[in-house]
Amino acid sequence: MSPVPRLYDALLARHLATYRQMAFISGPRQVGKTTTARLLAGNYLDWVNPAHRRLISTGPEAVAAHAGLDRLSEKPPVIAIDEIHKYGRWKNWLKGFFDLYADRSRLVVTGSSRLDVYRRGGDSLMGRYFHYRMHPFSVGELLTPTIPALLTRPPMPLPDEQWQALWEHGGFPEPFAHRSPAFSRRWRNSRQHQVLREDIRDLTLVREVAQIGLLAEILQDRSCDQIVMKSLADDLHVAPDTIKHWLDLLMSLHVGVLIRPWFTNVTKSLRKEPKWFLRDWSGIEDPGKRAETFVACHLLKAVEGWSDLGLGDFELRYLRDKQQREVDFVIIRDRKPWFLVEVKSSRDQLSPALKHYQSMIKAPHAFQVVLNLDFVAADCFARNEPIVVPAKTLLSQLL
């Protein structure tokens, strides 16, 4: 199967043609960062490769000579460096390279963890880079792997075989391409081992690796659940602050994400308990939890993508009050609620919580998103009252 075009190919190409700042690309292991970087860069260096590591360690001048920056060229050469944040002095190195060669080259920096998680000193890189967060395939990206002119796209139907592959095998490129249950299972197990053993070991004390791995195993079955730090701390016999630190590490490695409640203008709202969502829905057995996680990952990709594109400041939150009324998600745009999303696996009566919360927080749109409904060729955002919409329609309009 030929490679599927990525939204991030277009995004990075535009960045390189428009800005002199470095492009930082972070995202989960095996999400496609290296493929995109190598597609656009004439020179690719990987910190994990011993020869490349020696070249980088020699200094920015050595990399500049390797890339031929002393030769006349029509366009600035593009250099991609992968996993450089594993180098103890990576911030100083990048600052030095940028200050010397920003006008003669373009630099792409990729990493499987958040590039800001390594706090090992060095001068600030503020103003010298733009950060882009890469996500697995989504409905919108499979349909239109280009940068949108507006926040939302016109609705388009995704072919049934692609929808089913996305639902069953997830959005990571390799299992999505193979579409084999056996391959997907082995791929998930291998990736989980790499993240929970190798990557955690790079970020924390050796004696904590096994306990963090145990926490990750507990959380594998708790996607969509509210997280109570004290309860997890009691289970693992550690302090709640330790659990918080370990959760931060797991989020930095893109194992999952915590979505926090939105409480502005919400009477008797919950304020503390976040909800945990895995970043890969393909291994979740429960259909309701898989549906909610599937939509959560699409919404997270949209809010982070819109923010990275400079289209506004977006957040993904949820709503719940002390009377147990809940809406699964609310998208916040520039500190104001924009649209609500309640997820259902199959068609249900419209949730009364949608109307209750829409009236309370004045969000322009409120959607009950149903996974098993057929695509409808109508713009979800043309309606303002609470409405039942097919997931195939709403998700096609996002990134």
Q: Over the stretch 218-245, which tens digit does the pLDDT of each residue have?
A: 999 999 999 999 999 999 999 999 999 9
In a domain, 333, yes or no: yes
Domain identity same for 104 and 239: no
Q: What are residue 200's phi and psi, to 5 degrees? A: -65, -35
**pLDDT of 183 above 80:** yes
Task: Give the per-residue pLDDT at 334.
Answer: 97
Number of domains in the chain: 2
Which of residues 133, 153, 176 is at a domain's end?
Answer: 133
Q: Which two tokens stand for residue 137?
A: 């395939």
Residue found by looking up tokens 């749109």 in the block: 365
73 conformational bin, left if phi > 0, alpha if psi -120 to 50, beta if neither? beta
**Among candidate residues 232, 19, 29, the one with its CA nearest the CA of residue 108:** 19
**Among candidate residues 244, 315, 246, 250, the one with its CA nearest the CA of residue 277:** 250
Please tell me which residue, 254 or 196, carries the higher pLDDT value. Answer: 254
**Does residue 209 contact residue 201 with C-beta atoms inside 8 Å?**
yes
**pLDDT of 115 above 80:** no
At how many degrees (to 10) do helices 181-193 and 160-169 cross?
A: 40
Share of the chain above pLDDT 70, in %: 95
**pLDDT of 117 above 60:** no
Domain identity same for 126 and 147: no
In a domain, 2, yes or no: no
Task: Give the per-residue pLDDT at 4.
Answer: 83
Where residue 118 falls among pLDDT bands split at 50, 70, 90? very low
Domain identity same for 51 and 126: yes
Distance CA 320, CA 293 (A): 17
**pLDDT of 216 above 50:** yes
Which DSSP letter does residue 226 get? B
In a domain, 370, yes or no: yes
**Does residue 12 contact residue 25 with C-beta atoms inside 8 Å?**
yes
pLDDT mean across residues, the chain? 92
* Parent domain of 55: 7-133
Which of residues 90, 105, 133 is at a domain's end?
Answer: 133
CA distances 99 to 88, 291, 332, Å, are 19, 47, 37
Q: How confident is the model over 13-21, as a mean pLDDT? A: 96
Domain identity same for 65 and 33: yes
**pLDDT of 190 above 60:** yes
pTM, rounded to two decimals: 0.94
In a domain, 1, yes or no: no
Residue found by looking up tokens 């098993």 in the block: 372
Domain identity same for 37 and 152: no
**Stated length of the chain:** 399
**pLDDT of 377 above 70:** yes
Q: How confident is the model over 21-34, as a mean pLDDT? A: 94
Q: Which two tokens stand for residue 274?
A: 């976040």
CATH code assigned at 92: 3.40.50.300
**Among candidate residues 272, 292, 270, 271, the one with its CA nearest the CA of residue 281:** 292
**Does residue 280 contact residue 298 with C-beta atoms inside 8 Å?**
no
**Does residue 334 contact residue 349 with C-beta atoms inside 8 Å?**
no
Task: Give the per-residue pLDDT at 113.
Answer: 65
**pLDDT of 3 above 90:** no
Where residue 126 falls among pLDDT bands split at 50, 70, 90? confident
Task: Give the per-residue pLDDT at 101.
Answer: 97
Where residue 266 falls among pLDDT bands split at 50, 70, 90? confident
Domain identity same for 22 and 146: no
In a domain, 63, yes or no: yes
Domain identity same for 167 and 22: no
CB atoms within 10 A of CB 90: 22
In a domain, 332, yes or no: yes
Domain identity same for 101 and 47: yes
Domain identity same for 45 and 165: no
Domain identity same for 180 and 285: yes
CA distances 210 to 189, 204, 206, 231, Å, are 16, 11, 8, 19
Helix (H/G/I), strand (E/B), else coil: 343: strand
Residue found by looking up tokens 């880079």 in the block: 129
Which of residues 99, 133, 167 is at a domain's end?
Answer: 133
**Does residue 30 contact residue 173 with C-beta atoms inside 8 Å?**
yes
Per-residue pLDDT reduced to its tens digit, 314-373? 999 999 998 889 999 999 999 999 999 999 998 778 999 999 999 999 999 999 999 999
Task: Give the per-residue pLDDT at 194.
Answer: 84
Domain identity same for 65 and 206: no
Per-residue HEC secondary structure of 75-87 comes to CCCEEEEECHHHC
Task: Give the per-residue pLDDT at 2.
Answer: 55
Domain identity same for 152 and 300: yes
Q: How confident is the model over 145-160, as a mean pLDDT? A: 95
Residue found by looking up tokens 């920096």 in the block: 109
Which DSSP letter does residue 16 get? H
Task: Give the per-residue pLDDT at 346.
Answer: 87
Lowest mean pLDDT among 112-126, 158-172, 185-199, 274-288: 112-126
